[in-house]
Structure 1
Amino acid sequence: MSQDPERFDSMLLAMAQQHEGGVKELLGTIVSFLARKTDFFTGGKEGEWEKVVKDTFYTHAKKAKDEADKIKKEKLEAEKRLKEIQQKKEQERLAKDFEPASVTELTEQEAEELQETIEKEKKKEPESGSGEASGNEEEKTPEEEDDPEEKGKIKPNAGNGCDLEHYRWTQTLEEVELRVPLRQTLRPRDLTIIINKRHLKVGIKGQPFIIDGELDADVKIEESTWVLQDGRNILINLEKVNQMNWWSRLVTTDPQISTKKINPEPSKLSDLDGETRGLVEKMMYDQRQKEMGLPTSDEQKKQDVLKKFMEQHPEMDFSKCKFN
């Protein structure tokens, strides 16, 4: 009958705790006991004790290795099962997210109220539009009226973008913010929003796209995001690739705004690093100088250098010289 291998564990553990040198010191004590109190090393044939030690150690080493391999295998199988469960849950979630949007039918009373709201909004739009138009006409200068490039362009909204029938967009030098209001409460899975480097698609599944067009300039796809707010408003942030230019429109099918009338907020400009802010301020200054028919900063610098040189050399005649 095999004996219980754990019957001496408590005794051996107590011994092990007394050996600060660890297993090696514990083995030394056991071997010393065998040498001093038994004939383990001298009672048998030559080399017999070595065979006993080798067989004993290798037998228990194999058992320890088999046990470790078993535990490792069980751990891998458990991790595999966990991964399969997670994948199954993810597939179920994705399948649920891509279910077609459910359509909620309105009662007659709700439909009438909605129609009244739409009619009121339609009545308000021409009034506000005519007011803006008259304001723009008053603000136009003779130079703008004569400039063919400005003909047909509209004044930017307060956010340096444009308010259109189905959406509103604003911009800074770094990004464009787009807001698309919805007429019904939806979930993210009911929407189709695709942001490419130079193309944007926004819409409700099963319906024509609200926006489907080429963007005014390239955007950073990995830095651009969208979110559905309160189920009724889509908010999209597009990170510009070129952060030195203003967009004149969101997509190429939109009416253009006059970028000459854009006035960036000082707080936004101050958010830029020193080098970028200096370049932006220089560009804005040069643009204003050109509009007024005055020299740009580079041209002014050349004129100042020439003026200083002429003052230092009054004996020279510069009347017939041409400088670019």
Structure 2
Amino acid sequence: MSSDKMMAAYDNTLLGILQNEGGLEKFLDVIFGFLCRRTDFFRNMDDPKQKFGFPPGVAEKIILSYFTKYKSIVDKMEAENKERQSQAEPTEVAQIVEIEDPPPSEKETAPEAPAVVKPKQTTPTKPANATNDQTVFQSNPDSYNGAIRDRYEWSQNYDDVDVKIVVDKSVVKARQVKVEIQRKHLKVCVKSNDTANYDTIIDGDLQHEVNKEESMWSLESGKNIQITLTKFKNIWWTMLVAGEDEIDIQKIAPERSMEDMDTEEKSVINKLQFDEKQKRLGLPQSHEMKVHEMLKKGWEAEGSPFKGQEFDPKMFNISPGAVEQ
């Protein structure tokens, strides 16, 4: 999975947590609680030989550095948006003047007029040179496990279907876009500065039902519309809307990523990965570490002949069944 697809999967997972918690403060409490329970982020590294935690003050600096990084990104985006908005009105006037008085160009562009006022296209079509090769689709993160169509691309994972629609650079405001997500229907209309009416991009029945309350869309000004449809059932789609060519479901990659798994499944996989790494490095595996912790207590117990001596795990040969996994 590419980094863009991975980020999209992360966003969906984190958004679900945010919606469930109902606020940013509670969401952050969940994130830091996870770091506390499952990592050594808050542990102090008091000894240079210690292999976990951070030196005092370093964890706080890490948090501050990432806060500063993303705050600067947002500040830059806001500054660019303000500059774009301040230039929008003069640009629109110039376009109107050019369109109002162009007698020669009207004749030149007359043959193209039907393309501007063509009827709504409710059934998606493929361009003449389009391919229906799933291998090509799989190489594009925006059509991974999906397809590239005439006016949009769609991809999917175990839980969601993502749709990307490229828009004209004049489409910079949300009011220029109309997206209607129903349980079994999707309609997308766009209005650029060059058109008087909204242009229908998609208007059709979805192949399968979606959870419209959890589905969402966003506009990246002047670039594209991103739509995330949350599947009602975890099944693989062969088309986005009715009338579209079906993809070859045998050629997609229907694997479940770590982000699609529940906590218990992730825990098992993380444990197996950890044990494999420890085995390669010649270090104790998870079952051995559990036994070592129990043996250490007995090692230092009152009356133990080993009390006061450094614990030596090499004295014990521990089988995987020595402790409950």
Q: TM-score, normalised by structure 2?
A: 0.38
Q: Over alpha carbons, which structure has the higher Rg?
A: 1
Q: Which is richer in helix?
A: 1
Give the TM-score of the pair, scaled to structure 1: 0.38
